[in-house]
């Protein structure tokens, strides 16, 4: 019995020992798992804190950039001592009636009747042709275009004196051809006006009657283009001075087929990889730098090549291309009226087309061997007032710019040598011209 109880005690002790060992191993296992979980949580917390730090840095950089742009914009908008006051309302936008009774000059399409006194067989009627020449008995051919009735009568009398003692010539106008002058750059109102042959009209009278407004037009940059002896002549129209001082000596009496070019108030044009491309008004004597111009366009896009921004500037001898970096020179570069800013892309091939095209702006080059004619077509084609002499500017990495002068008429006639292959970054400028 004693032996049996001893055996039982041993079994009982062994059971207690095994139970305690399992519990201890479970505790050890639980501690290891908890340690791994703690380490994972610590790593996740470190990553979270690092992400928060980076996000704060990004937001702070954006805030600083926005403040820099806002300060630049505010600085540009501050009035300066040299800023001219906006002109007072220009005396009801009125030019006095000059009552210009003029002796009209013949143009092609006029129909006239020539009579020689007491000579019924010498009565002739003519419709003046584009050549401007008529044939009258004993006189042969005589120039008619650009002569008045009295001048033509005197010329015929002089020639007929060889055959008649005292010739008396009478010329009557059966019908005047339509005489028009044209306006370009006026968005609202008329763009052509019919002239009365025997009553003159001046440039200032036409501009006011056509609704040209100082809110949109630059009264100091209006010009008249006229064909004189086969050549194009440009005459300045000082409308601002004419309206303020009524100095009619500086006004210009219009002639048929005159073209008046009304330029808009000066603007800075921003194209390419900016968030809001467009044209922005430049007040008289206002100073604007590149940074401010880019801020008006709401800044550049992520793909913009800010180190190769092109500024196209018109000069007396043509256009000049200036390449600048917005990251280092944006506050130092002063802009001038009608500057064109082109912000290229780092990742895509584009050509900028400006001037007398229907849709000025940037055109993508897709594929190889894209020609000038294709780029012009993608820009909507030339306007009706475009000169067919086109200039292409190409910028090289060494800082040099090459200019191509292209005859677009030659391209349309099949001359492939004029239809040059375009390259990324090229700038195409189509000027205006009446003839």
Same domain, 248 and 300: no
**190 and 331 fall within a common domain:** no
CA-closest candidate to residue 128, choices 137, 138, 120, 136: 136
124 and 230 part of one domain: no
Give the per-residue pLDDT at 80: 44
- Spatial separation of the C-alpha atoms in residues 9 and 16, rounded to whole Å: 11
Question: Could you say which residues of the chain have pLDDT below 70?
Answer: 1-31, 65, 69-101, 186-190, 213-215, 283-285, 318, 329-330, 348, 399, 433-435
* Domain total of the chain: 3
Per-residue confidence (pLDDT) for residue 169, from 0 to 100? 93
Cα–Cα distance measured from residue 275 to residue 410, given in angstroms and rounded to the nearest whole number: 38
Q: Provide the pLDDT for residue 158.
A: 92
Q: Encoding tokens for residue 289? A: 């730098």
Q: Are residues 278 and 416 part of one domain?
A: yes
- 246 inside domain: yes
The answer to whether residues 425 and 338 belong to one domain is yes
Query: What's the pLDDT at 14?
Result: 56
Using CA atoms, how far apart are residues 359 and 371, in angstroms rounded to an integer?
18
Within this chain, do residues 230 and 376 fall inside the same structural domain, yes or no?
Answer: no
Q: What is the CA radius of gyration of the chain?
A: 41
Residues 363 and 389 in one domain: yes
Q: Are residues 325 and 375 in the same domain?
A: yes
3-class state of residue 185 by DSSP: coil
Tokens 């090289």 belong to residue: 396
**Domain CATH for 130:** 3.30.1950.10
Do 297 and 278 meet the contact criterion of CB atoms below 8 Å apart? yes
**What is the C-alpha separation between 279 and 340, in angstroms, rounded?**
9
- CB under 8 Å, gap of 24 or more: what pairs does 377-385 form? 379/353, 379/428, 381/357, 382/356, 382/357, 382/358, 382/408, 382/430, 383/356, 383/357, 383/358, 383/432, 385/184, 385/259, 385/356, 385/432, 385/433, 385/434
3-state secondary structure of 143: strand
Report the C-alpha gap between 410 and 417 in whole angstroms: 9
Q: Where are the beta strands (DSSP E) in 380-426?
A: 386-395, 401-407
Structure-block tokens of residue 273: 């990889």
Coil, strand or helix: which one is 157?
Answer: helix
The DSSP secondary-structure symbol of 199 reads B
Same domain, 314 and 392: yes
Q: What DSSP string describes 298-358?
A: T-B-TTB-TTSEEEEEEETTEEEEEEE-HHHHTTT-B--TT-EEEE-BSSS-EEEEEESBS
Domain region containing 304? 267-432
pLDDT tens profile 366-386? 777 889 999 999 999 998 778
Last residue of a domain, one of 214, 249, 264: 264
| Residue written as token pair 């009774």 | 101
């Amino acid at each position: 019995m004693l032996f049996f109880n001893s055996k039982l005690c041993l079994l009982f002790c062994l059971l207690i020992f095994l139970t305690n060992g399992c519990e201890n191993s479970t505790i050890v296992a639980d501690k290891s798992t908890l340690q791994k979980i703690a380490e994972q949580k610590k790593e996740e917390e470190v990553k979270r804190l690092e992400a928060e730090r980076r996000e704060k840095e990004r937001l702070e950089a954006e805030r600083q950039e926005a403040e820099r742009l806002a300060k630049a914009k505010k600085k540009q908008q501050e009035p300066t001592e040299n800023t001219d006051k906006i002109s007072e309302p220009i005396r009801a936008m009125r030019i006095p009636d000059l009552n210009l009774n003029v002796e009209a000059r013949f143009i092609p399409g006029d129909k006239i009747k020539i009579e020689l006194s007491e000579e019924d067989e010498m009565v002739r009627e003519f419709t003046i042709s584009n050549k401007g020449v008529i044939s009258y008995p004993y006189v042969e051919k005589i120039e008619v275009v650009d002569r008045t009735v009295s001048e033509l009568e005197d010329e015929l009398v002089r020639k007929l004196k060889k055959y008649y003692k005292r010739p008396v010539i009478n010329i009557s106008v059966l019908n005047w051809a339509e005489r028009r002058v044209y306006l370009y750059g006026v968005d609202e109102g008329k763009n052509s006006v019919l002239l009365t042959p025997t009553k003159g009209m001046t440039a200032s009278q036409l501009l006011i009657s056509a609704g040209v407004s100082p809110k949109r037009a630059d009264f100091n940059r209006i010009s008249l283009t006229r064909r004189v002896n086969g050549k194009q002549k440009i005459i300045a129209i000082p409308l601002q001075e004419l309206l303020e001082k009524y100095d009619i000596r500086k006004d210009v009496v219009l002639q048929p087929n005159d073209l008046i070019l009304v330029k808009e108030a000066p603007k800075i044009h921003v194209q390419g990889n900016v968030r809001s491309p467009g044209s922005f008004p430049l007040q008289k004597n206002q100073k604007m730098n590149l940074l401010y111009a880019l801020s008006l366009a709401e800044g550049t896009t992520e793909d913009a090549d800010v180190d190769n921004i092109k500024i196209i500037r018109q000069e007396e001898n043509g256009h000049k291309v200036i390449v600048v970096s917005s990251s280092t020179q944006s506050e130092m570069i002063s802009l001038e009226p009608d500057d064109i800013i082109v912000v290229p892309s780092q990742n895509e091939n584009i050509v900028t087309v400006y001037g007398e095209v229907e849709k000025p702006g940037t055109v993508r080059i897709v594929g190889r061997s894209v020609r000038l004619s294709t780029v012009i077509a993608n820009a909507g084609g030339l306007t009706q007032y475009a000169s067919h002499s086109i200039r292409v500017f190409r910028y090289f990495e060494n800082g040099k710019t090459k200019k191509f002068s292209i005859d677009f008429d030659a391209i349309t006639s099949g001359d492939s040598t004029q239809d040059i292959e375009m390259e990324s970054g090229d700038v195409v400028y189509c000027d205006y011209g009446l003839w």
